[in-house]
Amino acid sequence: MAEFDVDLFVIGGGSGGVRAARIAAGHGARVMIAEEYRMGGTCVIRGCVPKKLMVYASHVHHEIEDAAGFGWSIPAATFDWPTLIANKDKEIARLEAAYTANVEKSGARIVKSRAVFEDPHTLRLASGEAVRAKYVLIATGGAPNHGVAIPGIEHVISSNEVFHLSALPRRIVIQGGGYIALEFACIFAGLGSDVTLIYRRDNVLRGFDEDVRAHVRAEMEKDGITILTGCTVDSIEKHGKEFTSHMSNGSSLASDQVMFAIGRHPNVANLGLEKAGVAINPGNGGIAVNGFSRTSVENIYAIGDVTHRINLTPVAIREGHAFADTVFGGRPVMVDYAEIPTAVFCQPEVGTVGLTEAQARAQFSHVDIYKADFRPIKATMSGRDTRVLMKLLVDALTDRVVGCHIVGDGAAEMVQLVAIAVKMKATKADFDATMALHPTAAEELVTMRTPSARHVREAAE
């Protein structure tokens, strides 16, 4: 009898776990992957993908309004929430089937079950079956975090439930100031809801460049979203179908839904980690790993949001691939976490890569800042009151571009390409030598010639 039933057991059928399973199977490993909910994980089932579909739906409202400036007369339009949700669900089901088929084609076996550790090599399935694995990969992702318990917390929805509401809320209160909160604030506003965003800090998008934070907030407020900063929801009362949110500043708000999007925590509960001896990182609550994603136990690895390193789907995918190549491909691969591009699909969209201005000024003694703030060409005809922000940060001693920040339509698409140049350590001279493509918003990235500001750090005495 073989000592192990499989070479690799993957806990979690999200993007990272699926990539690891497929690549490991391609290297000849016997692979089993357990998923207790739906194949595809958070990103595919109740995260990035359905969110982006709803972002597209919310954009239509602006397109209809803008049409008049271009000569189009469009009758009064109506929106049907159930149709959007049904079509979204249909597309997610298609993607889930594709994920399942791709895993099975690779030769890996899927078990639709929860799996928990009994010891470092033994997993117990919900059916009672025990599986012995030479290596185990934990890829269970994260889950919404509502924060401290407050009276009425049971009335709050998260980014899980928001995709399955039976009706579009006429009024919604959203607490949070990060990616998810801003994206859903703009989605609901675009679909016609009255939106109030509440955030405990002084401004939204903590950790982003300060100019980006200010620009996004101004644009969202111009679009009719109420943003209340420096306060929190302290309690929630339900009156029939209506909710009243009582605020820390003494005010109260009535709404049809209350959504909290204040962060996510690693999904580590009830996995039997203590039986396997897997250590938790005390600094972030995720599973502690080294540069190769190995945990405190030699044969157990962890990738993606469950490690709470950089919680982005492409990072989990890269980590899963690197793990499989390292353990089963005979080629040690360590993920490079520098210059990772990211986007916030609010309205207007945010795309960013590299350092913020504050980070650049802390890291380099001489920083040149190039900034353009302009009305996009489409708005000159549509009449929409909106502006685009573009910002480049340059290490003035080497001329290397160390950061790029864009707010405006297509920001994410632009930054994905700019990220290649930043990763290759392109200089401002390289940007300047690139011919502009006119008329585009992106041409501003290669036509900004004069720094809007220069920072020189004073030498310590």
The CB density around residue 369, as the number of other CB atoms within 10 Å, is: 20
Report residue 324 as tokens. 């499989």
User: How many angstroms separate the CA atoms of 293 and 335, rounded?
Assistant: 9
Count Cβ atoms below 10 Å from residue 121 Cβ, excluding itself.
20
Q: By three-state DSSP, how is residue 259 classified?
A: strand
Q: How far is CA 326 from CA 24, 136, 294, 320, in A?
A: 10, 14, 11, 10
Q: What share of the chain is helix, strand, coil (3-state, %, to 5)?
A: 35, 25, 40
Could you give the 3-state DSSP secondary structure of residue 234? strand
Q: What does R_g of the chain's alpha carbons equal in angstroms? A: 24
**Secondary structure tally for the chain: helices H, strands E:** 13, 22
- What three-state secondary structure class fits 110? strand
Q: What CA–CA distance (Å, rounded) separates 390 from 388? A: 7
Six token digits for residue 37: 């909910």
Catalytic annotation, residues? 438
